[in-house]
Structure 1
């Protein structure tokens, strides 16, 4: 739950930080957990949000695709007296585990946890030399698979679109040249090449490898697709009056959440030159000014919180809308050639 939540203003894969749930006070204000309610924490991590929700008296169903997080949460389950259920699965599979219109709240904290960053053998951080992995669920295609097997054109798209890296083509070309000499196996091996190809300038605030690592992690875990699917699932799982609260940390993630809420809370736009467009039925009403960001005091305590953005909505009684790829701000890259070998 405490995350590498960096963006262009921070070193996204820097050193360890103790577990501090981002925007906790604001999350609880929007989520409003109460005794007798059932809340889903879609991103359990180290259990920061879950602990606070349990303290408020609500039942919690928490998801995490990382088996290490599930194992670490066993003590919290035991101490909860039956009020906490931990599920080892992706949060996009929400409706495989709960009934439609059964939840009072859903909270999502999007990103990679500090626990994952701090473990060198997980391969999320270039500040610690470890295997080039980055898989949250510890299975499937790894970052090393992408770097060693993907076409240059595919890597360019991944780095450029998901990482918003302006030197994507140059870095992808250099990777192709180097992998002909030796396979990329470690985080420092890849970061070292990027430093040579795109050296850090005095005015740069982040390490030159930051955006490439962000892009690889996002791609390997299909983070944008997972987020979009989860928003649609949460819409179906929430009761009328249920609260959906999402904290995101990168511009692409926030754009998905913003588009979802705009679509679900807005009206169809039209033109005076065209026939009238039917008014859309709102499935959410937005709560308060959005996005909510961290206070200066919180940013001083936890610098990673400064890129966090909270958006929230209140579920109406209207039937859930159709899922649509329109809320994705970038093309779906999940089926690129890296998966085919």
Structure 2
């Protein structure tokens, strides 16, 4: 017997990817409901190769009898409707930032901390981490288990899809405009994004960090280890889909490149492609549409004691959002935590 599943924010880039991922992975569903704002009600979205769903209004939807809801509508909307769904008996997996740092809401990457899912009963809400955090902790987990990471310095190279469809449209229109000498007027970003890099994602905080950089630090500590130190610089780059990260890690004990490579090769969700030759690494363009976190350029960092560096890329709409949410649901089924509530 399958589940009744609602996808909230179904008309957005992540919502559409959630629907696609549920179908591709053959998650056991009896019924899928597409939900979005009232202005999107009545529009249609695809589910699988041959099904079309008519979008319903989130404001009017009664979650009673719905077993699982995958949320990606924006934090302010999740703040209102995720608790409403949970109170109706629905299990919520929320992709927004709204609940990530709540003490009684588990923040989960299935390859890293599946045991945390048991805490979901307090609120019936599970938080999906930030896209840039997800791919980093998937790669860090096997290394941390091997030698215990104490400090991480990471620079991210994040695609515009992380800022939504309008941001993708802005990159497209600005890129096209450059070739016909149109002025690039930023709307979604603080500066032109075409042929440019912007070292600014989310709002600035009092210490000079951006909220995106803060998220990577606090989420990594909640997911992986409360004692790990993380310093991040988050950069938006003119790529449509896929985030890249240059990660520098310090460990408690020496760790060789060979040990690290072997641990990463055996880790779930990780693919190592690391040849010391032209093209012997994976880029954002190549990871788009893929499920794995790809790791390349594994090197010893001789500037710090017990240092190691690597490059990792992942599709931020899939592993960084939709896929991780569906994998959480799959893990809940495996652990017997998600069961039919509908009559």
The verdict on a shared fold, with TM-score over 0.5 as the criterion, is no
Bigger RCO (CA 8 Å, 6+ sep): 1
Structure 1 or 2: more helix by fraction: 1
Query: Normalising by structure 2, what TM-score?
Result: 0.31
Query: Normalising by structure 1, what TM-score?
Result: 0.31
